[in-house]
Amino acid sequence: MNGSLQFIGDVSASVRRRIPDQPALKALGMLSNSALAVAPRTRGLAPPPRGSDLAAVPGDPGPPLVGYTFLMMRDPVGGVRKRFERYGPVSWSRAFGIDMVSVFGGDAIEAALMNRDRAFSQSGWEYFIGPFFHRGLMLLDADEHLFHRRIMQQAFTHERLGGYFSRLGYAVRAGMSDWEDAEAFRVYPAVKQLSLDIATETFMATAMGPQAQRVNDAFVAAVRAGTAILRFPIPGGRWAAGLRARQVLEDFFRQSLPAKRRGDGDDLFSALCHAVTEDGERFTDDDVVSHMIFLMMAAHDTSTITTSIVAYHLAKNPDWQERARAESLALGDDVLDIDALGRLSTLDLVIKESLRLVPPVPGLARRTIKDTEILGFHIPAGTICMISPWFNHYSEQYWSQPDRFDPDRFSEGRREDKAHRFAWMPFGGGVHQCIGMHFGTLEVKTLLHELLRSRRLSVDPGYEMPLDTTSLPRPGDGLPVRLQRLQPAARA
């Protein structure tokens, strides 16, 4: 079997391994088997301009109808590696109903994210999540993006962060007090519920109450809608569920907006309502609602993923767990402020390594608004480009034994992340680097600090966490761990 046929065959194998017993599996298997009869033919995406020294982007559309949609969703790391081996750092394929260019490797990604000719627009996200996270900061471009980011920076000053964390630590500790010892405690759903509770407490200074589950379900539906295969509102489909979810979230935030405008609270919602630049620029009500929906999703969804992945690695590596616990216990029983969280150096290393292995946002979408090029390849205007941080995180060019869990690779004596400015990029890069990355890291550290100081996590030696990558990556089984409350002597 040549490389092309193996590439298609891996789709079926990956799906069989990750999602058994789903009705779509049989249809996908038949499709993959029929594709095995004919190897994909490489062809250029679009002819370069006459007289230029540019090359056409190489690639192939993949199997009929679905292209490489299933491979991108089910085996993103393995699929990307195979495309890189076949085509190099810039290639095109068909997925999610469109032809798109994939961008791999530090130099290619740097060209796209630094965007020196202003050809790459955030409107690439519109195709995937625009209807559900409309007007979120990540979807804005150029001067409009800078305008919104300048106002939003007022909500993420050091003083503001201190105010948020004066409540967050107590909320985490109170939430975890209800976690019972168990032989199969499912970390992901527990952390997701807790992170939503603390996000509303921190960002809104209120308890969500009976609406909590409905709002949580709406965030889940909105995120999952971005990878819908049928991208129109079929009843019962992901796209339709995402549109309903957006309305639920808008209604939820709008009902609280008038009180936040009138009040003088120090929560994020209030900060967005009252943020003003030196020139007197403010957000409209629609702006505040859209930013709250996007920020709340990012604050609790990506933090949940990161916390769960770190918990998995701590459970698998008890030596690292004990090392991190010792640092947490050494700081005493008080809830930690920002400065104290900064002293948890072992957790820093483990979090960075976990973000390398599983970045919560594994792909970044851009659309070209004019003809441009990447590494000598012609990219025509109107092309959606998918940038793959996940590929860089597993590249042997930058990392020693990249498949291995090794937090010390981030220690001052090694700093493998410095091999290229885009070797490690869990928060994106360029002018659109995540505005909440410091808040998010501190939130994850708070969750893990409180967990380590009161509980021990363990899993059977042979356990390997299945990763569901059909949307944002998450533990496919909820991450069941053995959870044991520490006795006072163990905390001394």
Phi/psi region, residue 49 (left: phi>0; alpha: psi -120 to 50; beta: rest), is beta
Q: Which of 104, 134, 155 is the last residue of a domain?
A: 104
Q: Are residues 93 and 150 in the same domain?
A: no
At which of 104, 130, 150 does a domain end?
104
pLDDT at position 278, please? 77
Q: Are residues 214 and 281 in the same domain?
A: yes
Query: What pLDDT does 430 receive?
Result: 80
Per-residue pLDDT, 10:
36
Alpha-carbon gap, residue 88 to 159, rounded angstroms: 46
For the domain that residue 301 is a member of, what is the CATH number? 1.10.630.10
Let me know whether 68 and 168 are in one domain.
Answer: no
Contact call for residues 233 and 295 (beta carbons, < 8 A): no
Cβ-Cβ contacts under 8 Å for 307 (sequence gap 6 or more):
187, 191, 195, 444, 447, 448
- Residue 196 and residue 96 share a domain: no
Within a domain: 392: no
Residues 96 and 204 in one domain: no
Residue the block writes with tokens 């032989």: 183
Number of Cβ within 10 Å of residue 92's Cβ equals 24
Which two tokens mark 426? 């869990």
Question: Helices 285-297 and 238-254 meet at what angle, rounded to 10?
Answer: 120
**The residue to which tokens 């503001």 are assigned:** 160
161 located within any domain? yes
Residue 289, amino acid: V
Quote the DSSP letter at residue 482. E
Residue-level pLDDT at 282: 87
Asked whether residue 377 is assigned to any structural domain, the reply reads no
Of the candidates 452, 451, 480, the one whose C-alpha atom is nearest the C-alpha of residue 464 is 480
Evaluate whether residue 213 is within a structural domain: yes
Q: For residue 373, report the phi and psi dihedrals to the nearest 5 degrees.
A: -145, 155
**pLDDT at position 375, please?**
97
Cβ neighbours for 213, distance < 8 A, ≥ 6 positions apart: none
Query: In this structure, are strands 384-387 and 98-103 parallel, antiparallel, or unpaired?
Result: parallel
Beta bridge partners of 379: 372
- In terms of residue numbers, what domain contains 471? 142-362+460-491
Same domain flag for 309 and 176: yes
**Statement to judge: residues 308 and 205 lie in one domain:** yes
Q: Is 212 exposed, middle or buried (0-12, 13-18, 19+ CB in 10 A)?
A: middle
Flag whether 314 is in a domain. Answer: yes
**Residue 491, pLDDT score:** 57
Task: State which of 77, 104, 131 marks the end of a domain.
Answer: 104
Q: Give the number of domains in the chain.
A: 2
Residue numbers in the chain where pLDDT is lower than 70: 1-40, 207-208, 489-492
Same structural domain, 218 and 272: yes
Least Cα distance to 432 among 196, 121, 75 occurs for 121
The secondary element (H helix, E strand) that includes residue 476 is none
Q: Is 73 contained in some domain?
A: yes
The reply to whether 157 and 75 lie within a common domain is no
Q: Is residue 235 part of a domain?
A: yes
289 to 232, 249, 281, 331, 486: CA distances (angstroms):
24, 9, 17, 38, 42
pLDDT (tens digit per residue) in 242-251: 999 999 999 9
Say if residue 324 is in the same domain as residue 239. Answer: yes
In a domain, 134, yes or no: no
Q: For residue 59, what are the contacts with CB-CB under 8 A and spacing of at least 6?
A: 42, 43, 44, 45, 87, 91, 92, 93, 101
Sign for the CA dihedral angle at 198, 442, 460, 17 comes to positive
Same domain, 65 and 195: no
- Indicate if 212 and 318 belong to the same structural domain: yes
Q: Six-digit token pair at 52?
A: 């230029």
Please give the pLDDT value at position 370.
Answer: 96
pLDDT (tens digit per residue) in 278-318: 788 888 999 999 988 988 887 778 899 999 999 999 999 99
